[in-house]
Structure 1
Amino acid sequence: MKSIDLSGIDLNLLVAFEALYIECSVTGAAQRIHVGQPAMSAALARLRSLFADDLFVRVRREMKPTAKAVAIAPQVAAALDTIRTTLANLQTFDPAQSQQAFTIATSDYFASLVLPELMMLLSDRAPQINLRLLPVDKSSIAALLEDGLVDVALGTFTDLPPYILQENLLPERFIGIGRAGHPAFEQGVISLEKFVAFPHALFTLRRDAVGAIDQALAQQGLQRRIALTVPYWFALPNAIASSNLLAAIPACLEMHLTRHYPLQSFEIPLDLSTWSVSMVWSRLSDRDAANLWLRQMIQQA
Structure 2
Amino acid sequence: MKSINLAAIDLNLLVAFEAMWEHQSVTGAAEQLQIGQPAMSAALNRLRHLFEDKLFVRLGKQMQPTVKAGAIAPGILAALHQIRQTLVTHQTFEPTSSHQTFAIGSSDYTSFVLMPSLLEFSRQVAPTVNFRLIGFEKDTVGELLEQGEIDVALGVFPNPPRQTLWEPLFEERFIGIARQDHPALQEGMMSLETFTQLSHALTTLRRDATGAIDKTLLNQNLERRIALTTPHMLVLPFAIAASDLVAAIPHRIAARLASICHLTLFELPIPTKPWMVSMLWSTLTHQDAAHRWLRHAI
TM-score (norm 2): 0.92
Alpha-carbon distance, 1:77 to partner: 1.0
Alpha-carbon distance, 1:231 to partner: 0.8
State whether structure 2 residue 129 is matched by structure 1 residue 129: yes
Structure 2 letter corresponding to 1:47: L
**Alignment length, in residue pairs?**
298
Structure 1: state its 5+ residue gaps: none
Number of the residue aligned with 2:74: 74
The change in CA–CA distance for 1:5 and 1:139 in structure 2 (over 3 A counts) is: farther
Segment drifting more, 39-48 vs 129-138? 39-48
Alpha-carbon distance, 1:245 to partner: 1.7
SS of alignment partner, residue 80 of structure 1: helix
Alpha-carbon distance, 1:179 to partner: 1.9
TM-score (norm 1): 0.91
Distance 2:181 2:38 in 1: 91
Note if contact 2:16-2:43 (Cα within 8 Å) is conserved in structure 1. Answer: yes
| 1:186-225 equivalent positions in 2, closer than 5 A | 186=186, 189-225=189-225
State whether structure 2 residue 293 is matched by structure 1 residue 293: yes
CA offsets per residue over residues 217-271 of structure 1, 9 Å max, x none?
1111112222221111111122222222221100111222211113211111122
Number of the residue aligned with 1:269: 269
| 1:163-174 equivalent positions in 2, closer than 5 A | 163-174=163-174
Q: Identity of aligned pairs, percent?
A: 53
Structure 2: state its 5+ residue gaps: none
Note if contact 2:57-2:66 (Cα within 8 Å) is conserved in structure 1. Answer: yes
Number of the residue aligned with 2:116: 116
SS of alignment partner, residue 190 of structure 1: coil
SS of alignment partner, residue 233 of structure 1: coil
Number of the residue aligned with 1:150: 150
Distance 1:187 1:114 in 2: 32
Segment drifting more, 271-280 vs 178-187? 178-187
Note if contact 2:237-2:254 (Cα within 8 Å) is conserved in structure 1. Answer: no
Alpha-carbon distance, 1:291 to partner: 1.6
Structure 2 letter corresponding to 1:190: M
The change in CA–CA distance for 1:72 and 1:237 in structure 2 (over 3 A counts) is: same
Distance 2:39 2:159 in 1: 54
Alpha-carbon distance, 1:188 to partner: 5.1
Alpha-carbon distance, 1:6 to partner: 2.6
Q: Over aligned residue pairs, what C-alpha RMSD do you find? A: 2.0
SS of alignment partner, residue 138 of structure 2: coil
